[in-house]
Structure 1
Amino acid sequence: MTQAFDAAMHAFAPALPLAVGLSGGADSTALLLACARRWPGQVQAIHVHHGLQAAADGFEQHCAALCNHLNVPLRVARLDARPGPGQSPEDAARQARYKAFEALALSSKEFLAIKTIAIAHHADDQVETLLLALSRGAGVAGLAAMPAQWERGGVVWQRPLLQVRGADIRAWLQHQGQAWVEDPTNADERYTRNRIRAQLLPALEAAFPAFRDTFARSAANAAQAAELLAELAREDAATVGVPPRISALQRLSRARQANVLRHWLRESHQTTPSAAQLAELLGQVGACTTRGHRLHIKVGRGHVVRSGQTLDWRGPEPPSR
């Protein structure tokens, strides 16, 4: 059972120096241990103390002891990852964690200048992400799940274990005689991801033993489709303009209008319309045939409005004092 982990690590060829996101759990502990052995002196660890549970101090202590044993520098970010209004706890923690990783990788001068950050998500995590996306009615971008590699802020991020089962990672760690910590919230089935892990993955294993591989292929196909849609959106944006001209939008098919409008709102205003909001917006664009036709539609945190011959987006009003 350790062969899959060994094969994944053998194929992992990051630009060095390398930082490993270390939570203290089995997956990140295994990833750090394997990387530290393969590239001694070129690896450091980044641990995020989320401040969300009493066990967090124990996670940090485990990480410090492990890094001391491996002679790996450890950098710790302490933050408040409590969710905002309407935000899920998992999403709040994830966003805060990635921001902390990026800040630590780019800011500190006394540590190695990091070129790659490795994250220990594995095949089961990928399946859970895909199932969550399906449950929310996501489009192809959501169904693409987690990429194996991307770049942000001048640093390459990689997930070298996406083809490895969680059970295989634990088997490898046990073979090494290495301990890890268990996050007590992982057993809390109030969280959707935990219910998927506890209830759906065993059923999928029984019904479709190869589901991890087939789901991964579906996610890869969705990622390719999302890339093509993004290319088309950029081409259409060059034609309709930024902000989009209504008459130019009307010359596109409804599907291409939807695609370029999502692109415009995401890239220019960092907001994403719901399916209902986008449908209403498309209907209004189609009906916009007279000079006096007004348009004012709630989208994301603000409103899409008509401004002369183009669309515009107005963000939320600042709170009154």
Structure 2
Amino acid sequence: MAVAFSAGADSTALLLAAHRRWAGQVIALHVNHGLQAAADSFQNHAQAFCALHGIVLRAERVQAVHAPGDSPEDAARQARYTALARMAEEAGAAFVLLGQHADDQAETVLLALSRGAGLPGLAAMAERFERHGQMFGRPLLDVPSTALRAWLASAGHAFVDDPSNADQRFTRNRIRALLMPAWEACFPGFRPMLARSAAHAAQGQRLLDDLARIDLAQVGTPPAIARLQSLSRDRQANVLRHWLRAEANVAASAAQLDELLDQIAACTTRGHRIRLKVASGLVTREGGDLRFVAPI
């Protein structure tokens, strides 16, 4: 068992709880992004904390460089998961625990709402998932941040506060600083309600995935245009999203998917041409089928 340990309050509480539950069987994994001046001090604190409590620590420095136009937060997250999966595999850990809590889940739902997300976004963070061949779990999604910090304070455990969490240039930080207090003032104790909505969205998405697999078996892989046309527009959209995700791990925007559905509806002659940009590639017509062409 491994715990992703940033040395912040949430991961500190999780590491201590896991260490008490599985004494001698838990290791800590620390990822140093090197994105701020305090990064090395976080790693030093993590090393000292683990040494004090007799916990094995593995640490890795990553270069979370983002491409022009991409989010630096997303680049850092991808680099972090890659490093955590690699360290866990090297250590022989079958599971990596993450410290996201009820406040993080509520922020994720609000962020998804602000972006007009569909069910996958509104489902927020899953309790368990697989990435890079490694299983991850979030056991604290029902626990508010205040409870974690109160427990650490009562036991006198030290942790670090990341100064970037107060930087309101980042959308999630603005939600935390401005929107969450307003929701709390209007709807006290709203976090479990948002978590319940996320769970409903996740259940709905699982049902849509089941339906998409049934429909994809009927339309074929790659999808036959004539068979797609026999489905309702909503089912076409659902099966195409599923196909693109399974085929190329890409997601079409709402505008791209609407245009693709219009093209499928208009495809009534042999000479009708489909060549539409979707995500980073193209969806084209080859004979009677759709194809996804990845960028070279």
In the superposition, the TM-score normalised over structure 1's length comes to: 0.90
In 1: Cα distance, 2:235 partner to 2:252 partner: 15
Match of 2:226 in 1: 247
| SS across alignment from 1:147 | coil
2:273 to 267, 290, 294: 294
Percent sequence identity is: 58
Q: Once the 2 structures are TM-superposed, how far is the Cα of residue 155 of structure 1 from its aligned partner? A: 4.1
| SS across alignment from 2:68 | coil
After superposition, residues 100-139 of structure 1 pair within 5 angstroms as 100-106=83-89, 108=90, 111=91, 113-139=92-118
Q: Once the 2 structures are TM-superposed, how far is the Cα of residue 210 of structure 1 from its aligned partner? A: 2.1
| SS across alignment from 1:93 | helix
Match of 1:309 in 2: 288
Match of 1:6 in 2: none
Q: Once the 2 structures are TM-superposed, how far is the Cα of residue 37 of structure 1 from its aligned partner? A: 2.1
Match of 1:29 in 2: 12
In 1: Cα distance, 2:132 partner to 2:283 partner: 30
Superposed CA deviations along residues 150-202 of structure 1, whole A, max 9, x for unmatched, are 24456432111111111111101001101111111000000000000000111
8 Å CA contact 2:81–2:131 kept in 1: the answer is no
Do structure 1's residue 50 and structure 2's residue 29 form an aligned pair?
Answer: no
Do structure 1's residue 98 and structure 2's residue 86 form an aligned pair?
Answer: no
Do structure 1's residue 195 and structure 2's residue 174 form an aligned pair?
Answer: yes
| SS across alignment from 1:303 | strand
After superposition, residues 263-282 of structure 1 pair within 5 angstroms as 263-282=242-261
| SS across alignment from 2:31 | strand
Q: Once the 2 structures are TM-superposed, how far is the Cα of residue 33 of structure 1 from its aligned partner? A: 1.3
Match of 2:206 in 1: 227
Code of the aligned partner of 1:98? Y
Superposed CA deviations along residues 123-158 of structure 1, whole A, max 9, x for unmatched, are 000011111111111111110000112244564321
Q: Matched residue pairs, number?
A: 296
8 Å CA contact 2:82–2:132 kept in 1: the answer is no
Question: What is the root-mean-square deviation of aligned Cα atoms in Å?
Answer: 1.1
Superposed CA deviations along residues 271-303 of structure 1, whole A, max 9, x for unmatched, are 111100000000000000000101111100011
1:210 to 160, 181, 189: 189
Q: Once the 2 structures are TM-superposed, how far is the Cα of residue 92 of structure 1 from its aligned partner? A: 1.2
8 Å CA contact 1:189–1:195 kept in 2: the answer is yes
In 1: Cα distance, 2:2 partner to 2:231 partner: 46
Do structure 1's residue 149 and structure 2's residue 145 form an aligned pair?
Answer: no
In 2: Cα distance, 1:176 partner to 1:90 partner: 32
Code of the aligned partner of 1:37? R
Superposed CA deviations along residues 246-275 of structure 1, whole A, max 9, x for unmatched, are 000000000000011111111111111110
Q: Once the 2 structures are TM-superposed, how far is the Cα of residue 239 of structure 1 from its aligned partner? A: 0.7
Q: Which runs of 5+ in 2 are unaligned?
A: none
Q: Once the 2 structures are TM-superposed, how far is the Cα of residue 85 of structure 1 from its aligned partner? A: 2.5
Q: Once the 2 structures are TM-superposed, how far is the Cα of residue 65 of structure 1 from its aligned partner? A: 0.5
8 Å CA contact 1:52–1:82 kept in 2: the answer is no
8 Å CA contact 1:20–1:44 kept in 2: the answer is yes
Code of the aligned partner of 1:311? L
In 1: Cα distance, 2:166 partner to 2:198 partner: 26
Match of 1:7 in 2: none
In 2: Cα distance, 1:81 partner to 1:210 partner: 36
8 Å CA contact 1:50–1:80 kept in 2: the answer is yes
In 1: Cα distance, 2:116 partner to 2:216 partner: 25
Code of the aligned partner of 1:245? A
8 Å CA contact 1:25–1:183 kept in 2: the answer is yes
